[in-house]
Structure 1
Amino acid sequence: MKRILKFSPILAPLALALSSTASANPLGLTGPQDFIVRAGGYYISAGDDEVSFVDDSFRYFDAFRANVDPGSEWGWYFNLEWKPVEHWGIELGYMDGDSHTSSHGDEFFTLGFGDVEYRDVVSFDANISTLSLKFYPLDETCMVQPYIGGGISYTDFGDTGLSRAVRNDLADVGLRGNFDLGSSWGYTWQAGVDFNFGRDSSWLVNFAAVYAESSTEMRMQVLDDVAPPPGVDRFFESYSGDYLYDPWMLNLSVGYKFSF
């Protein structure tokens, strides 16, 4: 229920647009700009966050803080937009990111590595899906079409891992490590502009700035590299903390308009 209330300011105008479409006519289509497909690249800048890690295994009851500052990366994105009525569009987008590396990771480990300063401790990538309602203030005959929009986003984190330096240091003392991130639901906002090649052209160039609210749980585990002898407890440490990813994305793409 709390998550539904969180997204209600976004879902309400989306429902209003859909209801107005149904009342306009059976299909609600407006002409040659009923659908737009865009594909291109984007530059993504992730959030810098001070993460508080706590001991999940309750072996040592310690806690520590680490600065997580992933490097900015490039990726590609694709979206499909339906314009049911003039001035309004409903967009489904997907952004596939390159692998981030954390550029600052001092004191990530307290297990004998407290005096070691690690760089690029972890790596991960993030794939972001969005559903947005967009508003175009100008008449559809204008060759330049600015817009604003908002909606919901889903971030799926993958390809997680520890750096080679960290893995080697753990292996030197008979340990190995795991690093994982969860997924995240959030909201998204965007502002952009379509530059049409001509009044009768179906082609356009798009530039947009997109923000996606995203928070996820980081979990780091340290355990024995080999199975212990019978009767001996397996060494195990698990730390977790909440990380605010919250990326900004700058998109540049080519689009094509069509209708059925």
Structure 2
Amino acid sequence: MKSSLFISSLLALAVASPAALAHKQGDILVRAGAAMVDPDVGESSVSTPAGKIPGSDVEVSDDTQLGLTLGYMLTDHVGIELLAATPFEHDVTLKGIGGLNGKLATIKQLPPTLSLQYFPMDPSSKWQPYVGAGINYTYFFDEELKDARKAQGFSQLDRESSWGLAVQAGIDYMLTDRIMLNAAVWRVDIDSEATARLNGAKVKVDIDIDPWVYMVGVGYRF
């Protein structure tokens, strides 16, 4: 369903517009819109001092916030871009551990991502698709255990931040020589470890989140 909505948003960019001069060397591109982080949890586990708990698993909820990108065209076809956003909030849920199943905590994160981009079209084209690759730093903060977990004896939740690779694809559609519509998607490598105490014993949660990040919005070319 989420992928279908994203494809529909891309198709919505196909609206009539007069031809406009698009991206060229020296341009500054500012975009803003709705950004959704959709975690695609891969390998995950819960461990105690005795080792990993067999069959344990972790789920992370998605969230939508205001996304912002700032780009600069190094040449007519190559640019750099910084992705930022207002803080995303996610529920972390434990599975496969019997009586401890359920929501463990709520966490917030910021995912700044720096990418090098390639724009294959001629600068005069009003359609400007692009691809990119770069580095993501995901900063986790405001980890808050659920009250029910505190009653079970959980405490001292802490989550490590993450460095990882990111790839992206997107498209700009020039409505005027300055204003554009934009849709973009990122695939981000996020590997993180959370630790907590359960009645004094250390509990470790390892997660490969690897989210898809979708953004649809508008932009302005300076």
TM-score interval w.r.t. the shorter chain? 0.7 to 0.9
CA contact (8 A) 1:74 1:97 kept: no
Matches within 5 A, 1:126-141: 126-141=109-124
Q: Alpha-carbon deviation of 1:144?
A: 1.1
Cα distance in 1 for partners of 2:134, 2:24 equals 23
CA contact (8 A) 1:49 1:68 kept: no
Higher relative contact order (CA 8 A, sep 6+): 2
**DSSP-derived class of the 2:221 partner:** strand
Q: TM-score, normalised by structure 2?
A: 0.81
Cα distance in 2 for partners of 1:131, 1:98 equals 18
Q: Alpha-carbon deviation of 1:241?
A: 3.7
Matches within 5 A, 1:1-260: 30=24, 34-55=27-48, 58=49, 61-65=50-54, 66-107=56-97, 114=98, 116=99, 118-168=101-151, 170=152, 175-198=153-176, 201-223=177-199, 236-258=200-222
Q: Which amino acid aligns with 1:203?
A: I
Q: Deviations over 1:87-139 (max 9, x none)?
A: 111111213343111345342xxxxxx4x263222221221011111111111
Q: Which amino acid aligns with 2:118?
A: F
Provide the aligned length of Structure 1 versus Structure 2: 199
Cα distance in 2 for partners of 1:39, 1:74 equals 13
- In structure 2, the gaps of 5 or more residues are 1-22
CA contact (8 A) 2:24 2:123 kept: no
- More strand, by proportion: 2
Q: TM-score, normalised by structure 1?
A: 0.70
Cα distance in 1 for partners of 2:120, 2:52 equals 51
Cα distance in 2 for partners of 1:220, 1:157 equals 15
Give 1 or 2 for the bigger CA radius of gyration: 1
Task: Specify whether residues 243 and 103 from structure 1 end up closer, same or farther in structure 2 by C-alpha distance, changes over 3 A only.
Answer: closer
Cα distance in 2 for partners of 1:206, 1:251 equals 8
**Aligned CA-pair RMSD:** 2.1
CA contact (8 A) 1:215 1:246 kept: yes
